[in-house]
């Protein structure tokens, strides 16, 4: 699993969890977020589209909102990189 060097990723707890499951942690270079550009872009989208716009009262609320947003993101939101179609439409055309 490739991750950045933030404190949530370099903790001993995560390292132990990953080792028990046979998961290798690979860290990007310090100050080089472009080495993990795909997830950095996704994180920015989540933060700006909904996470930073609401005050949640519970983890369950966050999970529910995230699930609904992800469904919309993958099924209803046109993606200009895909020619203005939704990711779902792209998958249907590829099948």
Q: What span, in angstroms and rounded, lies between the C-alpha atoms of 81 and 40?
A: 17
**Per-residue confidence (pLDDT) for residue 8, from 0 to 100:** 64
Q: Does residue 84 sit in the same domain as residue 40?
A: no
- The residue with tokens 């529910």 is 64
Looking at the structure, tell me whether residues 25 and 44 fall in a common domain. Answer: yes
Q: Is the dihedral of CA 7, 3, 25, 22 positive or negative?
A: positive
Q: Is residue 40 domain-shared with residue 70, that is, in the same domain?
A: no
Domain extent for 14: 1-49
Q: How far is CA 55 from CA 15, 45, 75, in A?
A: 31, 17, 25
Q: Read off the pLDDT of each residue in 86-94 and give the average, rounded to a whole number.
A: 86
In this structure, are residues 30 and 3 in contact, taking their beta carbons and an 8 Å threshold? no
What is the distance between the terminal CA atoms of the chain, rounded to a whole angstrom?
28
Indicate whether 75 and 33 sit together in one domain.
no
Query: What pLDDT band is residue 21 in, cutting at 50, 70 and 90?
Result: very high
Question: Model confidence over 24-75: pLDDT tens digits?
Answer: 988 888 878 788 787 788 888 888 888 888 899 999 999 999 999 989 888 8
Count of structural domains, the chain: 2
């Amino acid at each position: 699993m490739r991750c950045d060097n933030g404190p949530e990723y370099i903790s001993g707890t995560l390292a132990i969890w990953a080792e028990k499951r046979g998961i290798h942690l690979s860290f990007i270079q310090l100050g080089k977020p472009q080495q993990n550009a795909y997830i950095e872009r996704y994180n920015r989208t989540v933060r700006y589209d909904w996470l930073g716009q609401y005050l949640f009262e519970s983890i369950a609320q966050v999970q529910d909102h995230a699930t609904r947003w992800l469904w919309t993101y993958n099924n209803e939101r046109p993606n200009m990189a895909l020619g203005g179609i939704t990711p779902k439409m792209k998958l249907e055309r590829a099948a």
